[in-house]
Structure 1
């Protein structure tokens, strides 16, 4: 778990990264960072403007050190989320940044094991895959079946009830979320 100082450091890194990228198309040079921020972790960077989603990109698996992942995913969230135009420099002051630091996903055999609000979920079948962060269930107030149905249909491009089929893999993870 990250402490408050580490959380603030990552949020500052994310905001400064976006600012420098929008101004100069350069990546932030990371200062000396806490050893915990050098651990490899999966993360998502979510951008909101007036409480509305403005960008959200992440990496589920721990492929890069945490601080480096924040730099890369902050740029991606601000400029490469295909659902939104790129964030402008003028708009940045209105953007709220939320970071989700993920645990390693674990396979679940029965969708009833999924605890809404605690678990993020990955649904996977063949080449199709979708993910919802744990906070999606809370924000949408969906029940388990509605949550999983939307994940299958709208994120993975699968039939709404695919989560019930044996050929579909389900994984859960938890996240430390801060903004």
Structure 2
């Protein structure tokens, strides 16, 4: 569990990292001694502007300490999300930041073990994979079958590919804050 003080640090780090890149300067982060922020965790950074998605990039699996991961994802979300042009300095003031800190992936027996709105989901058939954060199904108003069908489309598969043999399902939860 990431405490409020640590959440605030991570949110400030995202804004500082993006600001520093846009202003062509070195970022200046507050020194913090926090075991939670030093722990390796998967995470996503989601950026919105005026309520509309502006970038979202993450790591499902833990590959680096959380604070380091968040800083990297800040830049990726702002400047490398292929769905959007790079963020500009003019947009910075309107930027809304959301961070999702993930639990470890857990393989489940099948789609019946996925609970939209509570679980995030990753599907993988060995050739293609895709992931949705826990909040996606709820934000879109999708039930389990709709979520899985949209996830298959995201992976470049037929909508009902989730019901075929050979599909693997992994769930996770997220602590989301903005």
- The TM-score bracket by the shorter chain reads over 0.9
Q: 8 Å contact 1:28–1:71 — kept in the other structure?
A: no
Do residues 167 (structure 1) and 166 (structure 2) align? yes
RMSD value, Cα: 1.3
Q: Give CA deviations for 1:76-131 in whole Å, capped at 9, x if unaligned.
A: 00000000001111211101000000000111112011111110000111231101
Distance 1:22 1:163 in 2: 41
Structure 2 residue runs of 5 or longer lacking an equivalent are none
Do residues 178 (structure 1) and 177 (structure 2) align? yes
Do residues 17 (structure 1) and 17 (structure 2) align? yes
Do residues 84 (structure 1) and 91 (structure 2) align? no
Q: How does 1:16-55 map to 2 (within 5 A)?
A: 16-24=16-24, 26=26, 31-55=31-55
Deviation of residue 33 (structure 1)? 3.5
Q: How does 1:1-179 map to 2 (within 5 A)?
A: 1-24=1-24, 26=26, 31-153=31-153, 155-179=154-178
Deviation of residue 27 (structure 1)? 5.4
Q: Secondary structure at the match of 1:91?
A: helix
Residue-pair matches, total = 178
Structure 1 residue runs of 5 or longer lacking an equivalent are none
How high is the TM-score relative to the length of structure 2? 0.96
Deviation of residue 132 (structure 1)? 0.3
Q: Which moved more, 1:25-34 or 1:162-171?
A: 25-34
